[in-house]
Structure 1
Amino acid sequence: MRPLTDEETKTMFEKLSKYIGENIKLLIDRPDGTYCFRLHNDRVYYMSDKILKLATNISRDKLVSVGTCFGKFTKTQKFRLHTTALDFLAPYAKFKVWVKPGSEQSFLYGNHIMKSGLGRITENTAQYQGVVVFSMADVPLGFGVAAKTTQECRKVDPMSIVVFHQADIGEYIRSEDTLT
């Protein structure tokens, strides 16, 4: 487990800023202590300094994970967010989409969100902006990218895609063997 390099930090923060903007500061400067990001086996973990100090007592080859996995770096050094980061990012999300109850299951199976399944969308959402997807009961379901702006969503036909699927909490079941 090691600290992220400058390039890795930049790549990860650029990805996070698509969803939470400048609220990234709130993840690190927390009132309940100091938190940090660490890299282990191409995965980025978010943890408190107390847990980090305890984890140093375990050898690297025996350590499976520590803290919360925020995502992983691919072989091409791109950062991919995991759904395990959803609970930390959802409160700070700048752009949100709410899905109707009838379309929740479709989204959780890995499908895009159609206009007919869109409940609400944050005002002034730009096209290709990262969004956090919620149920109508404000339960975070996953991440996506807005396919249309808020204004375009009002005018398109019901079968148009309004949010491209990226990750959802259904991945725990669909791909549990590759998450760790």
Structure 2
Amino acid sequence: MPPEQLVSVGTCFGKFTKSNKFRLNITALNYLAPYAQSKIWLKPSAEQQFLSGHHVPKSGLGRISENAEKYQGIIVYSMSDLPLGFGVAASIDS
């Protein structure tokens, strides 16, 4: 089939890198968020810091799901349950 006849329909969840690792795109967030096992909710004062690409200090965390472990991939929410992005839990110690 010639390339002019190829069509793509749907949502792009991510792409494979040259080293065959799969990287999620932010477009997958709304589809994956309801099924996430590990979640972290940010206080309003820390939301902008996270969205700007900075680390969030422990003081900026509002709630943490019980099964969140250190260095685990997580979904980051605002306190109003709006999914903001993906993250990695660096330190969950109490």
1:124-179 C-alpha deviation (Å, 9 max, x unpaired): 31111111000000000000111123xx0x2xxxxxxxxxxxxxxxxxxxxxxxxx
What is the alpha-carbon distance in structure 1 between the residues aligned to residue 76 and residue 67 of structure 2?
16
Runs of 4+ deviating beyond 6 Å: none
State the one-letter code of the partner of 1:114. Answer: P
- 2:5 paired residue number: 59
- 1:121 paired residue number: 64
Q: Secondary structure at the match of 2:5?
A: coil
Higher strand share: 1
Q: Give me the CA root mean square deviation.
A: 1.3
1:73-103 C-alpha deviation (Å, 9 max, x unpaired): 1111111001100000000000100000011
TM-score, scaled to structure 2: 0.89
Q: Secondary structure at the match of 1:113?
A: coil
What is the alpha-carbon distance in structure 1 between the residues aligned to residue 51 and residue 9 of structure 2?
26
What is the alpha-carbon distance in structure 1 between the residues aligned to residue 5 and residue 50 of structure 2?
39
How far does residue 66 in structure 1 lie from its aligned partner after superposition?
Answer: 2.1
Q: Secondary structure at the match of 2:27?
A: helix
- Number of aligned residue pairs: give it: 91
State the one-letter code of the partner of 1:124. Answer: N
1:130 aligns with 2:73: yes
- 1:99 paired residue number: 42
TM-score, scaled to structure 1: 0.48
What is the alpha-carbon distance in structure 2 between the residues aligned to residue 104 and residue 68 of structure 1?
26
1:1-150 aligned at under 5 Å gives the runs: 59-60=5-6, 63=7, 65-149=8-92
What is the alpha-carbon distance in structure 2 between the residues aligned to residue 124 and residue 87 of structure 1?
21
State the one-letter code of the partner of 1:112. Answer: H
Structure number with greater Rg is 1
Asked if 1 retains the 8 angstrom alpha-carbon contact of 2:37 and 2:67, the reply is: no
What is the alpha-carbon distance in structure 2 between the residues aligned to residue 59 and residue 106 of structure 1?
44
Q: Secondary structure at the match of 2:9?
A: coil
